[in-house]
Amino acid sequence: MSNDTNSIDMSSIERRQFDTLIIGAGGGGLRASLQLAEADLSVAVVSKVFPTRSHTVAAQGGMNAALANVSPDNWHWHMFDTVKGGDYLGDQDSIEYMCRAAPKAVYELEHFGVPFSRLDNGKIYQRAFGGQSQNFGGDQAARTCAAADRTGHAILHSLYQQNIRAKTHFFDEYFAVDLLKDDEGRVLGAVVFNIQDGQITVIEAKTTLLATGGAGQLFKTTTNALINTGDGMGMAMRAGIPLQDMEFFQFHPTGIAGRGMLITEGARGEGGYLVNGDGERLMERYAPKAKDLASRDVVSRAIAIEVREGRGCGPNKDHVMLKLDHLGEAVIQKRLPGIRQTCITFLGIDPAEAPIPVFPTAHYTMGGIPTNRYGQVVVPVKDTPEEPVAGLYAAGECACVSVHGGNRLGGNSLLDILVFGRAAANHIIGYLKENKYHRVIDDEVIKKVVEKVNRFDQQGSGDETVAGLRKELKQTMEEHCSVFRNKEILKQGVDKVEQLAQRMKNVKVDDQSFTFNTARVEAFELENLMACALATIHSAYAREESRGAHSRTDFIERDDKSWMRHSLYSFENGLDYKPVRTRPLSVESFPPKPRVY
């Protein structure tokens, strides 16, 4: 890699050609690549970490499918629960498609070697999760298929092995910088570099699929791994594509403060309770009846309010405490052994002896790159709200298809990545029959992107560091765009994030070496996070209602008349909106109703 952009010798840069380039090797990317490789297409998968280290591995809960192995069930009930859970912001055609496809997706995984847990009769075991009902809101359903408590791990490893067998080409530990686009707006691949040695490769592809996962690293307290920096979303925004519904971010009320890992609701179910800095049981004020077992959003907001109003715990008064010690060591060891071990390992605190510091933790990005149910990335063009971008697809958490609407149900994220990874691949197969040949990419287009690879080595005054800006961004997002949102707080947040984005221009990477230059990679990741932050906070500030995970203290009701629409935010046009697709494929639409459980 040269330090002088003017001296980049284009002939020295490696160029590779594939039918499809997939960026991201989690469950969505690998499900798509397998489908394509088995169709005898040439597929490249670019992943910044070794594929089986993708965040899918952390999905413990399972995958929803109406198999009716444990309780009566059908896909239509699953669809109702998903529409309702998403607070009527989800697109009902995509939701119907997903719920109908779910059983087949599970059986496919079984054939790929995923060891699902079994019932005594040999059928796949299914567990009950929140938000699952029989008969459109009736009795609890048991819909989640699981491979013990390591479903994501089992799926990811099985898909990886299948891809090796199918001869998918992997670019492990390569970082994708930007998409290649021609004058007509077609996406023709991407420029990537090898993290090990800095070598740049231009990957020309007839079709490109973004499957880069979520952006949980936007927040100081998050359950997400460090790799979840919204890379595909940032690339899409720089390519002129808006991000959709980014204000909808799912939080869990009790993450370990300053670390992020979940303390399951089971801890409060066993009798644990929250106390503030004054030693008061705070939930008695916010939910006198349900107290500590109130719904997630109520508990999350109560914690945030206590901290905002100066009743937090610790030297910075930035968290509250979850008390379990009154339960006694025997109960904790028997019922909550995992939590005990986690606290001892990460905090040096035994919850049998001392309370656990907790704060709401960011968990899942409902928004993302707008797609239709075929995985095609869609953008508004003139009066058409959803015009496909030729050659570009997205699937999984980085995409917004939108099946989760304003709030994702447990067990629907693994389902989403597998169903829409496969759907995108099937559409790509059809597209490639009509588009058999590589298009010529203008050298100037490639050169412009290649030159960007060095931008953090050359630009900027060096007054800003990546670590410093990242810390400020995460803190700002936590204070201004977490579970406690109103006009004043969000406006301050908008101003601060805009300033941070400006300061990004002063970032200069001092380490300009080629070998494992993680500083350079982290600069690109921060740039992607910054794009996601702008989309998130602008969309949240503008949406004057409470819906799903977006909860405003100054607009506490859902407002279907004004706001049953998707937000779109782009660098070029700022905010825009498009209608929710309320018409399913084959059944009656579910009209919006109060979301009561």
Partner 1 sequence: MKTQISTVSNYRWQCRRGMLELDLLLNNFVDKEVINLTVEQQQTFEQLLSYPDQTLLDLLLGNSVSSDLSISGIVQQIQHTSFD
Site string for partner 1, 521-560 (x = CB under 8 A): x---------------------------------------
Select the span of 45-53, 246-254, 324-332, 541-549 touching partner 1 (CB under 8 A): 45-53
Smallest gap, in angstroms, from Cβ of residue 521 to partner 1?
A: 8
If one asks whether residue 401 binds partner 1 (CB under 8 A), the answer comes out as no
Q: Residue 577 CB: number of other CB atoms within 10 A? A: 16
Whether the bond between 402 and the residue before it is cis, its omega within 30 degrees of 0, is yes
If one asks whether residue 316 binds partner 1 (CB under 8 A), the answer comes out as no
Q: What CA dihedral angle connects 242, 565, 394 and 10, to 10 degrees?
A: -10
Q: Tell me, what amino acid is at 75?
A: W
Residues binding partner 1: number (CB under 8 A): 38
- Stated length of the chain: 597
Residues within window 164-183 making contact with partner 1, judged by CB under 8 A: 173
If one asks whether residue 257 binds partner 1 (CB under 8 A), the answer comes out as no
If one asks whether residue 333 binds partner 1 (CB under 8 A), the answer comes out as no
Q: Which three-class secondary structure state does DSSP give residue 68? A: coil
If one asks whether residue 212 binds partner 1 (CB under 8 A), the answer comes out as no
Using DSSP bridges, classify how beta strands 187-194 and 174-181 pair: parallel, antiparallel or unpaired: antiparallel
Q: Rounded to whole angstroms, how far apart are CA atoms 546 and 241?
A: 26
Residues within window 94-153 making contact with partner 1, judged by CB under 8 A: 150, 153
Active-site annotation holds for 422: no
Site string for partner 1, 341-370 (x = CB under 8 A): xx--xxxx----------------------
Smallest gap, in angstroms, from Cβ of residue 63 to partner 1?
A: 17
If one asks whether residue 227 binds partner 1 (CB under 8 A), the answer comes out as yes
H-only helix segments in 399-463: 412-434, 443-453, 455-458
Select the span of 48-56, 239-247, 368-376, 584-592 touching partner 1 (CB under 8 A): 48-56
C-beta of residue 14 within 8 angstroms of C-beta of residue 201:
yes
Query: In sequence order, what are the beta bridge partners of 539?
Result: none
If one asks whether residue 226 binds partner 1 (CB under 8 A), the answer comes out as yes
H-only helix segments in 465-557: 466-480, 487-503, 518-542
Nearest CA-CA partner of 207 in 440, 438, 28, 15: 438
- Shorter beta-carbon distance to partner 1: residue 516 or 577: 516
State which of residues 42, 52, 426, 553 lies at the interface with partner 1 (CB under 8 A): 52
Backbone angles phi, psi at 430, to 5 degrees: -65, -40
Q: Tell me the torsion sign for CA atoms 37, 91, 156, 104.
A: negative
C-beta of residue 234 within 8 angstroms of C-beta of residue 536:
no
Backbone angles phi, psi at 408, to 5 degrees: -85, 140
Select the span of 46-54, 69-77, 97-105, 128-136 touching partner 1 (CB under 8 A): 46-54
Hey, which residues are catalytic here? 296
Applying CB under 8 A, the residues found at the interface with partner 1 are: 48-49, 52-58, 150, 153, 156-157, 173, 195-196, 222-227, 259-261, 338, 341-342, 345-348, 513, 515-518, 521
